[in-house]
């Protein structure tokens, strides 16, 4: 995986060294000699990752990082702080400024490439999610999610480690801010990770009798854990295995003996990343739901019905099973809107949808077809049974009036229904036409009745 890496340092020798190492791994490298120049490059969108030296004249790296993370246009850029001072206070200051990672001079090449590759993957995912969110916002489908700064504190962590002293050390470090659950059995760990909403999984590469890298691969391949950050716990001699783990999709690593401040910093960073990406995914999911869900009634809309009905008809034909469709039209609905107002009409539509949905099965597909028209598709249902269900719905709708004006008034409502059964090789259009003809007969015969049309 490649990316455009911005190297920011006022010492030319440091810039050239990092540029050579990253270019050799096929990263595109851009350089800046000051914080002001770096901010301009980032605001233009010319880089994917920022390698930022802490000690610079004019504006130090901490201030540059704070400015990047406070700007909505650059807050998503991963920032790696590079410092020659391996002090706990520097890491804390960088974390508070919003840094995503830390490297200490002299820079270890394995650590450099590991951090850059991991953040490049994160940036790729975030860019795609941001693009979808921005597009939906531009089209007016939904609003872009606001950025809410997160310190990465709190949440559940699964620790997979069979070394008692290692487990105790990590729990002692993280237990004050996180709920740390321990699992020594890697097979059970896969099941637990899939069944619970963990915000981070920490995996020891030194598990007795089991390859920790295989566990990382398994967690990455499962849908439920695909987006859960993985943090490897390695020993100093595990350099090649660390690189392999990062290639498999692990997000980060810690080398034993683990440092308190580094552990906290890396855990917070991964959880912060997950929460930001989850927020973007929620926005994308909301857009998808808006595309197929009627916002007033909460039912699926006509677009979803027309695409889903094709597969239902194919399944019915392949299995030789019956399938019926029911068209429902609220009688004289225009009178409701004209006489009581459109808010009252909306109340009736929502109550009608809820009342009918309560009477159909969970396996049935109920949609708002448009206006005051609704459709119920009933798999494994013969025409005679569908007609009986339609009669039950008709009676329930007419049995009691519908509340409007927040319950201040109630009005009587009736419904006309047309029912049709599918024929082998039916298309959605053919089935709809028969159900629509049956509905027309119900309305033409005085309304508030059910008419069935055989194939």
420: left (phi over 0), alpha (psi -120 to 50) or beta: beta
Active site includes 372? yes
Name beta bridge partners: 253: 232
Would you give the distance in Å from CA 432 to the centre of its chain?
A: 35
Q: Which string of DSSP letters, residue by residue, matches 229-268?
A: -EEEEE-TT-HHHHHHHHHHT--EEEESSPPHHHHHHHHH
Find the catalytic residue in 63, 372, 373, 391: 372
Q: CA–CA distance from 225 to each of 61, 121, 202, 454 (Å)?
A: 35, 16, 13, 48
Alpha-carbon distance 172 to 325, whole Å? 61
How many Cα neighbours within 13 Å face the side chain of 395? 7
Contact 420, 434 (CB under 8 A): yes
Q: What is the distance in angstroms between the CA of the first residue and the CA of the last residue of the chain?
A: 57
Extract the runs of DSSP E, i.e. beta strands, from 273-379.
Answer: 323-330, 365-370, 373-379
Contact 156, 196 (CB under 8 A): yes
Burial class, 309, CB count within 10 angstroms (exposed 0-12 / middle 13-18 / buried 19+): buried
Residue partners of 322: CB distance under 8 A and separation at least 6: 316, 380, 381, 382, 383, 421, 422
- Minimal CA–CA distance to 75: which of 123, 128, 10, 139? 123
Alpha-carbon distance 203 to 211, whole Å? 10
100: left (phi over 0), alpha (psi -120 to 50) or beta: alpha
Count Cβ atoms below 10 Å from residue 413 Cβ, excluding itself: 21
Residue partners of 295: CB distance under 8 A and separation at least 6: none
Alpha-carbon distance 326 to 421, whole Å? 9
Q: CA–CA distance from 361 to each of 348, 349, 428 (Å)?
A: 22, 20, 21
The residues assigned a catalytic role are 372
């Amino acid at each position: 995986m490649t990316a455009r890496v911005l190297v920011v340092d006022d010492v030319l020798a440091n810039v050239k060294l990092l540029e050579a190492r990253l270019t050799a791994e096929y990263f595109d490298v851009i350089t800046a000699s000051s914080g002001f120049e770096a901010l301009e490059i980032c605001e233009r969108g010319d880089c994917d990752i920022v390698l930022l030296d802490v000690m610079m004249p004019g504006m130090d790296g901490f201030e540059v990082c704070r400015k990047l993370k406070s700007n909505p246009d650059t807050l998503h850029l991963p920032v790696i702080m590079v410092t020659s001072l391996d002090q706990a206070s520097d890491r804390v200051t960088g974390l508070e400024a919003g840094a995503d990672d830390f490297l200490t001079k002299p820079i270890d090449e394995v650590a450099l490439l590991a951090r850059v590759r991991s953040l490049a993957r994160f940036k790729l995912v975030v860019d795609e999610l941001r693009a979808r969110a921005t597009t939906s916002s531009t089209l007016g489908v939904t609003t872009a999610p606001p950025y809410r700064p997160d310190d990465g504190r709190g949440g559940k962590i699964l620790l997979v480690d069979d070394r008692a002293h290692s487990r105790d050390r990590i729990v002692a470090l993280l237990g004050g801010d996180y709920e740390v659950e321990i699992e020594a059995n890697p097979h059970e760990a896969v099941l637990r990770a899939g069944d619970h909403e963990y915000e981070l999984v920490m995996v020891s590469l030194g598990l007795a009798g089991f390859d920790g890298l295989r566990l990382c691969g398994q967690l990455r391949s499962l849908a439920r854990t695909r987006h859960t950050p993985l943090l490897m716990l390695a020993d100093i001699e595990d350099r090649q295995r660390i690189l392999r783990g990062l290639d498999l999709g692990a997000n980060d690593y810690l080398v034993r003996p683990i440092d308190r401040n580094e552990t906290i910093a890396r855990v917070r960073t991964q959880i912060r990343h997950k929460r930001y990406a989850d927020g973007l995914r929620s926005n994308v999911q909301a857009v998808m739901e808006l595309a197929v869900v009627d916002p007033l009634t909460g039912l699926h809309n006509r677009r979803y019905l027309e695409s889903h009905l094709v597969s239902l008809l194919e399944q019915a034909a392949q299995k030789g099973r019956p399938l019926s469709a029911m068209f429902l039209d609220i009688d004289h609905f225009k009178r409701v809107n004209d006489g009581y107002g459109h808010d009252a009409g909306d109340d009736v539509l929502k109550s009608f949808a809820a009342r009918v949905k309560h009477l159909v099965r969970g396996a049935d597909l109920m949609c708002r077809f448009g206006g005051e028209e609704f459709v119920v598709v009933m798999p494994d249902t013969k025409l005679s049974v569908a007609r009986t269900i339609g009669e039950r719905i008709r009676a329930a709708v007419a049995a009691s009036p519908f509340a409007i004006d927040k319950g201040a008034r109630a009005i009587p409502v009736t419904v006309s229904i047309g029912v049709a059964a599918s024929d082998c090789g039916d298309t959605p259009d053919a089935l709809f036409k028969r159900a629509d003809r049956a509905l027309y007969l119900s309305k033409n015969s005085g309304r508030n009745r059910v008419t069935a049309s055989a194939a």
